[in-house]
Structures are given as structure tokens and as C-alpha cells.
Structure 1
């Protein structure tokens, strides 16, 4: 019964968000704050799903513009990570998203950037254009560097595109880590705590494309350690061992 009720509520809330949010975007298409508006709408769904989201920001506000690198776990990212998305931020997504009925068109209309990962030349061209937009429009970009959902398998290897873009734009990288959420089920009343921590910025000043691999390795190590730490803490809050 809980599964049915939640599924209906989720469908209604998402439809309302898409309809009213889509109409809003029609009046200011691809505005730099459209994604933040949708993020607030989606993050409000978390309590309905039995998820308590805790967002931790660094003592010093993240610089703007910057590139946010977040771990990508499953579809629930739409309701958890969104609580940490600031104004002036758009996301980078696969070009195929645009063909998803309603969601894809709104994703583009809200100002997000689409990349064709199957075409290496076009992908690099898009990343170069993204670097230009970051500098010209003072725009931050939210990227999932794993490129796919980890589905509870920890932090997957990173793709290089985000690091090339950060270095080309000359902006810092801000890691964002969410604790494990692979145990979320719509038919369970309490789905526990998801802790999202926005980490300290990592400068790319003075770096070149030769520094991409060591920079990627450094960020991956920091995020993997933070993920293990947050998983343990979130598990303790629920009174059970953290997920492995």
C-alpha cells in the first residue's frame, strides 16, 4: 500500500513540477537560475519518500563560477543532490536525454548543457564551449564525473572531461559527496539519512592538460574517503552498520 501511495504522490508532484516549472521556463528560457528553481522543487520530494537529507556547506562559501563534481548513485539523486544545487548553476547531461518525453525538453529549456559522449570530437567541442560559457556568463556547472550510476558500487572511475573543462575555464573544482542511498525503497516508511557534503574548492590555477590525470586521481581519492566517512556516519544515525 505504501508503495502505491508514494508512487502516486511522486507522479503527481513531478507532473506539477514539470508543468509549472516548464511554463516558468518558457518566460525565461535557459536562464541561469532555472536549474536552481527545479532543484528546489525536486528536493522538496525527499521527505515524501521517507528520506532525511542533510546538506553541509564549507565554512567559506564555494567560489563562483566553479565546477561541482558529484557522485552519481541512482535516480534518487534527483531528490537528494538537488538540495545542494546553488543559483547560477547548470548541469551537464547526455544528449540522449533530450529525447525523453517532457523531461528531456524541460531539461534543455531550463538551461542545462547536453553532450554527445558517443562522439569524441563533438564531446570535446561541447566541453570547450562549456568552458567559454563558464567564463563569459559566470556560470557554474554540475557534473557527475563517473558518467554513469554507481548503484551502490562505491565511487566509479572518473572521466577526464570535467577536469579538462575546469582547467580550460580556470575555475576551481568543488567536490560534492552524498552518502550511500542504494538502500532506499518506496515501500519502506523510513529510508534513513542521506548526508551531502560540499567540500572545499580545489584550485586549477596554473594547471595544464598534462595535469588532468593527477588532478583526477587526487579528487577521486578525496571523494572516496569522504564517501566512506559519510556512509559510516549515516549508518550510525540509523543505528546499523554503514553499507559496503
Structure 2
């Protein structure tokens, strides 16, 4: 049954993204960046809605009170990355527009990437590391000033349930250079949508939002170590089964 539901949801996303993306492409010349964002977020809401009713995946958010208050209050969101689910869900859960930092190759994905290209986000060429980060800071500063929050996955890629990747300091470097606070977020999406898995399982995905961490006067590596410690400790609290020690077999 889970396999059938997973295929149905995949077909549902494929069928709905084409007309939605075409509508974005046609409307983009007449809309400002904020309206384009919420138009694209509408399809993400549809995909998450389909995930709830087709796959049986529900979201539970902890710590909304930790988010900055104010239309232009800045924030750099550093999020645990276990699956595609949080990529879709985060814009539907946050009160501000989000700007993802992502590799420019995604813009060539038919329909989905074409619509992304119309959004005011930060797409980079990873082969040009110094220039890429300079672009992140330049665009990040502009976006944060207008009330758009920058979201990054510090581990860089999706990580298996119960595992920890290498936390890179790009997000904290951006926060320090722009003066924005860092918001760590733990996510248990792999319980329902495992990394690279076709078959998804019903259940609850928890998003736990940590308290803002000021970036002023901090060192990037030190700040990222604090973010990493909070996220990984919270992951163990939310999903203790995934981090249970493997029993040692007796001889």
C-alpha cells in the first residue's frame, strides 16, 4: 500500500507542477518577486497537502515562538536535511518568504527549475567557491534587508536517518557578515521520507525551531559548532530510536 501511495503522490506532483510552472512563467513579467514567491509556494502547499492525504505524512512544528518578529526582522535558517520533504514544507510553514541557496544546475530541471528561476533566490556555481560565497553575501544582505529569510542546509546534502554529516560554516559566515541571527532547526523527515527512497511511510515529521543565536562578534566555526550541537542533540531527543546504540553481539 505504501508503494502505491508513493507512486500516486509522485504522479500527483508531476501532473500538477506542469500547469503551475507554466502559469508562473506567464505571470512572472507582471508580478513582483514577493508575489512570484507566494505563487510558487502555492504549488509547494499543494505538494504537502498531497503528502498528507495520499502518503499520510503530517507536520508538527515546535518552537514557533522562537522565530523573529517583524516584517523585516532578519534570520538565517540552518536546517537539518534528511529528505526532499523539508525542502517542500519549509516555505509552507514559515511566515516570511524564504530564499534557498542552491546550485544553479537545478534551474535546468524542466518546469520545476524554470519556475525557480523566476524567484528571487540565491543560485550559485559551486566550482567558483570564493565568487560563489561573495554572491551569497551580496544577495543575502539585500534579501534579509527586505524581510526575506535565507535558508541553508549546513550539511550540504541529504543525510540518512540517525547519521550526521559535516556541518559547513557558510551559513554562519553569512549571518556574521550580515548581522542576522541564526535559527537552528531540527527535522525528522527521514522517518517518513527516507533519503533517496521511492517508498514513503505515513507518520509525523517534527520541525523543532531553536532559539535565535546572535551572530555579532562570533567566529563562523565556533558559531556553527553551537548550531551543530543544538541540532544533533535535538535530533536525538525527537528521534531516539534512530540514534539507539547498536547492541554488541557476544562471542
TM-score scaled to structure 1, two decimals? 0.82
User: In the aligned structure 2, how far is the partner of 1:121 from the partner of 1:182?
Assistant: 36
Alignment of 1:228 with 2:236, yes or no, is yes
Show the 5 A alignment for 1:93-132: 93-132=102-141
SS of structure 1 residue aligned to 2:117? helix
User: In the aligned structure 2, how far is the partner of 1:37 from the partner of 1:200?
Assistant: 28
Match of 1:27 among 25, 30, 50: 30
Match of 2:11 among 8, 11, 15: 8
Report the CA distance shift for 1:215/1:187 in structure 2 as closer, same or farther (over 3 A): closer
Report the CA distance shift for 1:16/1:53 in structure 2 as closer, same or farther (over 3 A): farther
Specify the alignment match of 2:247 in structure 1: none
Report the CA distance shift for 1:180/1:4 in structure 2 as closer, same or farther (over 3 A): closer
Alignment of 1:54 with 2:63, yes or no, is no
Specify the alignment match of 1:162 in structure 2: 171
Match of 2:48 among 40, 43, 50: 43
User: In the aligned structure 2, how far is the partner of 1:148 from the partner of 1:61?
Assistant: 24
Deviation at 1:31, TM superposition (A): 2.7
User: In the aligned structure 2, how far is the partner of 1:57 from the partner of 1:37?
Assistant: 24
Match of 2:221 among 213, 217, 223: 213
Deviation at 1:8, TM superposition (A): 2.5
- Residue ranges of structure 2 left out of the alignment (5+ in a row): 245-251
Alignment of 1:192 with 2:197, yes or no, is no
Specify the alignment match of 1:201 in structure 2: 212
- Residue ranges of structure 1 left out of the alignment (5+ in a row): 233-240
TM-score scaled to structure 2, two decimals? 0.80
User: In the aligned structure 2, how far is the partner of 1:139 from the partner of 1:79?
Assistant: 17
Does the Cα contact within 8 Å between 2:107 and 2:114 map onto a contact in 1? yes
User: In the aligned structure 1, how far is the partner of 2:216 from the partner of 2:42?
Assistant: 31
SS of structure 2 residue aligned to 1:54? strand
User: In the aligned structure 2, how far is the partner of 1:103 from the partner of 1:242?
Assistant: 32
Deviation at 1:43, TM superposition (A): 2.7
Specify the alignment match of 1:236 in structure 2: none
Does the Cα contact within 8 Å between 2:59 and 2:204 map onto a contact in 1? yes
- Computed over aligned residues only, the root mean square deviation of the Cα atoms, in angstroms, reads 2.6
Report the CA distance shift for 1:57/1:23 in structure 2 as closer, same or farther (over 3 A): farther
User: In the aligned structure 1, how far is the partner of 2:177 from the partner of 2:150?
Assistant: 13
Range with bigger deviation, 114-123 or 131-140: 131-140
Report the CA distance shift for 1:95/1:183 in structure 2 as closer, same or farther (over 3 A): same
